[in-house]
Structure 1
Amino acid sequence: MLINAMIAFGSIVLAATAASAQDPQSGVSFRDDFTNIDPAFWYVSDGWNNGNHQNCTWSRNEVRIEGDSLALTFTKGKSKDRDYLCGEIQTTRRYGYGTYEARLKAASGSGLNSAFFTYIGPPTQQIHDEIDFEILGKNTDAVQLNQFVKAKGGNEYLVDIGDPADQNFNTYALVWEPERLRYFLNGRLVHDVTDASKVPASPQKIFFSLWGTDTLSDWMGKFSYSRPVTFDIDWVAFTAAGDKCQFPQSLVCTLQ
């Protein structure tokens, strides 16, 4: 269920926040508990892939509601020139400065990547900006953080989770401000980026994806498949800069 803390989704009135000042088309605060997939809010990737490094084809059949969460799956299945199928979902709107939060349980398996990230780039005639949480199936005890600013990356930072991320749900959050970016794990600050040159500025879409590779083994591990696996998303929320806390579990309640 989508809970918009400001106004009903689709209204032409936008809150006077930093996010809307940054881009008049930026989305407003929301929380989604994934009781369904709203096609006006979420776009499901289907029938293509991101390039030669990806060994699976995005398929809407790998994106579904299971129980009380969104499930993205990776499974064996032929599509075009790929032998595997995988799931990805992205918001239809872009979001700017504010707090991004999601409660996730990652997939396991060497060569797989469970990702919660924001992105804008060439597909929408924009320069590449991106902010990442990536849990690699080869080592689910850690999460990799990264940013791309005007297509320049190289800001990887590895954080120990403590418990395997494929066995338990954890809450991943980031607070994105002009010239500062803070990453949080289960409410704890784990990385603080204060170098303005390493902080994106362009509003971006919110993505969740589960994908695999045969070629990026140095980074993601040698690909190995034995059975279908699932990346579970319990909920996701965005609170625009300046907005009040939307729900008790939100990081915003603690920081305000």
Structure 2
Amino acid sequence: MINKRKYFLLLSVIIFIASPETVYLKDFKGAEYRTKESYLYGRFEVRCKSTYREGVLASFFTYYDGGTGVQDWNEIDIEILGRYGNDVQYNIITPGQMDHVHHQFVNFNPHLDFHTYAFEWTPGYVAWFIDNEEVHRQTGEHIQTLIREQKIMMNIWNPAYVGWIGNWNADALPAFAYYDWVSYYSYVPGSGDYGTDNNFTFSWTDNFDSWDQSRWDKATHTWNGNNCDFIHENAVLQNGMLILCLTDSTNTGYTDLQKPSLLWARANNDNDKIFLSFTEELDEASSENAANYIIPNVTINGAILLQDMKSVELSVSGINPSESYNLIVMNIKDRAEANTILTKAVTIVKAQPLSFPVKINVGGTATMGFLEDQEWSYTKEYGYLDGTSTQWELSIEGTEEDSVYWADRYGLVTYMIRVPVGSYNVKLMFTEKVWSESGVRVFDVYIEGSRLIDDLDIYNQAGFRTAYESNFSNIIVDDEVLEIHFCAEEDNALIDGIVIEQSNTGLLNEPAERIKSFTLEQNFPNPFNGSTIIRYSLPSEGNVKLKIYDLLGSLVFSDNLGLKPPGEYEYKWNAYNNYKNPLSSGVYFYSLEENNRSKVKKLILLN
């Protein structure tokens, strides 16, 4: 990840010429809204919906703008990147422009609906919250360097760093980020009535009914690495919201005159579905009208607008795998229903199914039956979205596959592999080749929305330059893409290799017939010391969340387990709280929530 101002001097790009008009140097125009006042400590909250555009981010953050140089840098970030549909990025930037980045997996798409995001900044910690639940906390020496008063800011912009932000496409403009309100609570330890330990008290809320010029400024600056200028016209107060706009230099403000455009079309492995990707969110009625799609000599049986509102799934019949096909799209409107796509034809990309077992040398070249690493795209069957590869040539203990462990990809967030709907066994391969002490590199790993590795410290598990494997069975894939998500806690996540084997491709159809009710079983063992297993069953697909409470009813641990298909599951709990600290002995209650229902049972921890 590249800090949005790192290694660059902040620049003003406003040039005053003979006339009093302002001339901006960049082709694209963004917006930033910032407080006049600066704040030292507190709880900072916003309710917002970000923009779903690759190459763009929307933010809520605090920043010290005293202008005394990088040696005094203080900044706390919430940044939502448009390239991810399930991730929120947090960062603290400390003197010397040192980044402390964490990617938070979320079981919702932050671009599709409003959510409340917050962070608490105190002398001892910074903690981030989503919808009033703490999801990440940083402590340590770097927190002690956050001593500068900071302004509250929000912006939308298109960074120049493809590896971090993804590929920019100007045809996807305009992009809008919506802010419903912002609240600030001052830090008053021991005398407050809000937030963690009631250490905060309400100061103010702005509902954005109008531009309060006594509180807020609209920015007019940019910096190297930012591909847009901030202008007043693109910070719009309308309909009780602040709307930050990213536009071209002509059609500024909260207006959309751009026609939607088809980016690509791809067939699935069975050639009975075609997936289409568009530049922007679509009108449901026109996008689901099968008559608006033509594939010569192929029957289109139906069209469905998918959840991201930018993708369409066509059900088709009559495709010959050995032939090439073109898709023609017409008469489709965007969400504003004011702009209609120009008739366009694209060649349908054919799937090239992988052979099992799928073995990938992440970060490296083809070796020992492992495939070469590659970047993910609509034409590829697997690949990384981000991260940096490194190559080594050294002895690795505990393996005969040294050449696989020589290469790795670090700083990555997402790896994707196309597979048929079914159940899979997954092996992840790691080795620590840089740090020779525990606690320096720590990260979580999610597979298909479930956190399956918590606080992995490779050195602590295996030692220095020694192979370490994590194996998982019966990973269910119901959308033909197996997604692996990495969330760094300390330093950067990394991986050396991935191996995927089929376990039971018919598993998805079995649970619905076998499981008749939503069940939560008694944990085992119980009482327990160290860790325990919690088993549960779902008769239908649902969003699942596990919560654990103490005897006083205080929430001590929660985990969003994501969208789960029907099936039987087990969850290993290590008796930690949300801050990764071990809990004391006692009686606790564990609650499993699924959609609008829940079940509760009691467990006993003996340390």
Q: Same fold (TM over 0.5)?
A: yes
Aligned length: 180
Aligned: 1:205 with 2:151 = yes
CA distance in 2 between counterparts of 1:152 and 1:255 reads 31
| The 10-residue stretch of structure 1 (145-154 or 110-119) with the greater mean CA deviation from structure 2 | 145-154
CA distance in 2 between counterparts of 1:53 and 1:166 reads 31
Q: Secondary structure at the match of 2:128?
A: strand
Equivalent position of 2:42 in the other structure: 98
CA distance in 2 between counterparts of 1:210 and 1:180 reads 27
Query: Alpha-carbon deviations, 1:135-168, whole Å to 9, x = none?
Result: 0111132110000111332211001222111111
Aligned: 1:219 with 2:142 = no
Q: Secondary structure at the match of 1:93?
A: strand
- Quote the RMSD (CA, aligned, Å): 2.8
Residues 1:151 and 1:170: Cα distance change in structure 2 (over 3 Å) = farther
Equivalent position of 2:319 in the other structure: none
Partner residue of 2:60 out of 112, 116, 119: 116
Partner residue of 1:131 out of 76, 81, 85: 76
Q: Could you say which structure has the greater relative contact order, defined with CA pairs below 8 angstroms and 6 or more residues apart?
A: 1
User: Any conservation in 2 of the 1:104–1:171 contact (CA below 8 Å)?
Assistant: yes
Residues 1:253 and 1:185: Cα distance change in structure 2 (over 3 Å) = same
Superposition map of 1:211-250 within 5 A = 211-213=157-159, 215-225=160-170, 226-242=172-188, 244-245=192-193
One-letter code aligned to 1:182: A
Q: Secondary structure at the match of 2:38?
A: coil
Q: CA deviation at 1:201?
A: 1.9
CA distance in 2 between counterparts of 1:113 and 1:53 reads 20
User: TM-score normalised to the size of structure 1?
Assistant: 0.63
Q: Secondary structure at the match of 2:99?
A: coil
Aligned: 1:167 with 2:167 = no
User: Any conservation in 1 of the 2:123–2:143 contact (CA below 8 Å)?
Assistant: no
Aligned: 1:84 with 2:48 = no
User: TM-score normalised to the size of structure 2?
Assistant: 0.28
User: Any conservation in 2 of the 1:180–1:196 contact (CA below 8 Å)?
Assistant: no
User: Any conservation in 1 of the 2:43–2:195 contact (CA below 8 Å)?
Assistant: no
CA distance in 2 between counterparts of 1:239 and 1:166 reads 26
CA distance in 1 between counterparts of 2:9 and 2:73 reads 18
User: Any conservation in 2 of the 1:138–1:220 contact (CA below 8 Å)?
Assistant: yes
Unaligned runs of 5+ in 2: 15-22, 199-607
One-letter code aligned to 1:238: Y
CA distance in 2 between counterparts of 1:183 and 1:234 reads 19
CA distance in 1 between counterparts of 2:96 and 2:102 reads 18
User: Any conservation in 2 of the 1:53–1:216 contact (CA below 8 Å)?
Assistant: no
One-letter code aligned to 1:190: V
Q: Secondary structure at the match of 2:100?
A: coil
One-letter code aligned to 2:53: G
CA distance in 1 between counterparts of 2:37 and 2:122 reads 19
CA distance in 1 between counterparts of 2:66 and 2:182 reads 25
Aligned: 1:180 with 2:125 = yes
Q: CA deviation at 1:53?
A: 11
Identity of paired residues, percent? 26
Q: CA deviation at 1:254?
A: 6.8
One-letter code aligned to 1:99: R
* Runs of 4+ deviating beyond 6 Å: 50-54
CA distance in 1 between counterparts of 2:196 and 2:39 reads 22
